[in-house]
Amino acid sequence: MKSWSCIENCGACCKFDLHDREGVMNKLNRSDLILIESMTCKDGWCKYLDRKNKRCTIYESRPHFCQVDKFSSSFKDYLKYGDKFLIDCCKQHISSIYGKKSKQMQIFKITTSNK
The string of pLDDT tens digits covering residues 25-68 is 778 889 999 999 999 999 999 999 999 999 999 999 999 999 98
Q: Report CA-CA distances (Å) from 55 to 6, 30, 47, 96, 107.
A: 12, 27, 11, 19, 16
With beta carbons less than 8 A apart as the criterion, state whether 43 and 51 touch. Answer: no
* Its pTM surpasses 0.85: no
Q: Residue 24: is its pLDDT beyond 70?
A: yes
Q: What is the pLDDT of residue 81?
A: 86
Alpha-carbon torsion (108, 95, 75, 8), positive or negative: positive
Average pLDDT of the chain to the nearest whole number: 88
Which DSSP helix (H) or strand (E) runs through 49?
strand 49-50
Mean pLDDT for the stretch of residues 14-28: 78
Confidence of residue 75 (pLDDT cuts 50, 70, 90): confident
DSSP-assigned letter for residue 56: E
